[in-house]
Structure 1
């Protein structure tokens, strides 16, 4: 995997020229660049080209090509507009001269206004009532030989707890596929060692927003990446930032999938802080072609 210092260093992209940034790829055991890494790096590049009083309120992007983990990604920022209240940036991530990701990021000054929200689901157990995912899976693996901590970590992108801790209600559902609910969620909290820079917290929220999102549409069906040969890829991703972000406090990420069709699945996510305030929202459509069962499944 990677260390906390590597995460912070790699997600804070290097400025190599005016409006031009370079990002390295985290080693996560994946065959291609993790989508959350690209999302975070795009946001990190864009936010560093606007005035300090402008804060991100939305990001809309398309994954165009798989990212090569052995090569850096060049991010070109186009300062499309700076208005009195809003600023817009277009960001293109490139490798080998070709675009792998294209995004628009919008920023706004802080303004008072009307406010309402959908409440956090009342059935969600509080983080204090749950074990960490690693502790739960470790204990379960001692009782069930078919449960592997390392496979669970790899399949669910569970990082070391000195980086971020996860606590997932009904975590057993993540181990064996079946007809389970098409919505779920998890609590997470980054280590205090990430510091207090608001840009870091926004960047890491974008990073974590891709965890588990695309595969949510599979949950309504008796298939998974462990039982079937599936061609899966994130197609597009959107984020809306509603409030202050502090990812070293506990946050609950609730995800559902209202529809799948045409070998694509639509997924939606809501980030709530521990006080139940909806601080950010996501939406993503992913490719999910089921091409057959795996041997022995």
Structure 2
């Protein structure tokens, strides 16, 4: 089991060049959340502490090899008084596997409102999926032993009839993390790729699919801790042409909306033959599974 602090630890090779360490993995391809989290760390390392990330947009371009390090190249696009912008390319073997833009903000006074958190049971009332015998050996739980993941049963939460696919999951990092807000933001970027694409499978539980993250956008709205319970309210408003759009709202245990996520993923019917090399293999589907049917 590798601590998230180690996963997100980078070596600075040059002023704006960083290298992410490899982590033991049961996956054939690098987990997308790891690449996104490390890319965000590299961007954070190039801005003053007064600026915090408020949004990121990333594309998974090629499959990552978990056995070799990823090098992150940061481009300082803008340094303003209120906003700072960075772009980051993650590179392996001379090819870009991931590309991200990140915007930072100092924070200002302004209006405030938010959606209400859905009514769900407390996470202490739900099952830790890592303790379910049928799931214990699944790649996603082997890879994410450090995270406590508890799916809210559909019969114990309110669902909206006009939404095509809905899923709600409580998640937290199991161990106490340092009081470093940037670490919690980067840890949430790592976590945000967990389970989200699986929400597209809710109406299609008997279909055998090849799943892969294609792109990922995230907005950080309020301070939070990744080692406290976070409710990941997930929907998939559309699926078609072999792709699905998924959305997520992340609330803390006090009902504060702390982040929002949008992701498009590959959701094509699985083929008997292995997929061809190239962009369609951008991320391995080992970390996606049907949470409703262990």
Task: Give the TM-score normalised by the residue count of structure 2.
Answer: 0.84
CA distance in 1, matches of 2:103, 2:135: 42
Equivalences for residues 209-220 of structure 1 within 5 A: 209-220=192-203
Equivalences for residues 158-197 of structure 1 within 5 A: 159-160=144-145, 163-170=146-153, 182-197=165-180
Equivalences for residues 73-152 of structure 1 within 5 A: 73-122=70-119, 124-135=120-131, 137-138=132-133, 147-151=134-138
Task: Give the TM-score normalised by the residue count of structure 1.
Answer: 0.83
Contact 1:241-1:281 within 8 A present in 2 as well: yes
Given the superposition, is the C-alpha separation of residues 148 and 99 from structure 1 closer, same or farther in structure 2, using an over 3 Å criterion?
closer
Note the alpha carbon deviations across 1:124-154, whole angstroms, 9 max, x for none: 111132232233x24xxxxxxxx35313xx2
SS of 2:176's equivalent? helix
CA distance in 2, matches of 1:51, 1:209: 25
Contact 1:235-1:286 within 8 A present in 2 as well: yes
| Higher RCO (CA < 8 A, seq sep 6+) | 2
- Cα offset for 1:47? 0.8
Q: Which position in structure 2 is the counterpart of 1:266?
A: 245
Note the alpha carbon deviations across 1:52-99, whole angstroms, 9 max, x for none: 110100000111101011211000000000111000000000011111
Q: Which position in structure 1 is the counterpart of 2:189?
A: 206
Q: Which runs of 4+ in 1 moved over 4 A?
A: 155-158
CA distance in 2, matches of 1:234, 1:103: 14
Given the superposition, is the C-alpha separation of residues 275 and 197 from structure 1 closer, same or farther in structure 2, using an over 3 Å criterion?
same
Given the superposition, is the C-alpha separation of residues 118 and 43 from structure 1 closer, same or farther in structure 2, using an over 3 Å criterion?
same
Contact 2:52-2:182 within 8 A present in 1 as well: no
Q: Which position in structure 1 is the counterpart of 2:288?
A: none
Give the aligned CA root-mean-square deviation in angstroms.
2.1
SS of 2:50's equivalent? coil
CA distance in 2, matches of 1:104, 1:70: 25
Match of 1:257 among 219, 236, 251: 236
- Cα offset for 1:171? 8.8
Contact 1:14-1:22 within 8 A present in 2 as well: yes
- Cα offset for 1:155? 4.4
- Cα offset for 1:156? 5.4
CA distance in 2, matches of 1:64, 1:219: 26
- Cα offset for 1:232? 2.4
Q: Which position in structure 1 is the counterpart of 2:44?
A: 47
Q: Which position in structure 2 is the counterpart of 1:72?
A: 69
SS of 1:53's equivalent? coil
Given the superposition, is the C-alpha separation of residues 104 and 114 from structure 1 closer, same or farther in structure 2, using an over 3 Å criterion?
same
Deviates more, 1:66-75 or 1:21-30: 21-30
Given the superposition, is the C-alpha separation of residues 158 and 102 from structure 1 closer, same or farther in structure 2, using an over 3 Å criterion?
closer
- Cα offset for 1:250? 1.2
- Cα offset for 1:291? 3.4
Gaps of 5+ in 1: 139-146, 173-180
- The alignment status of 1:231 with 2:202, answered yes or no, reads no
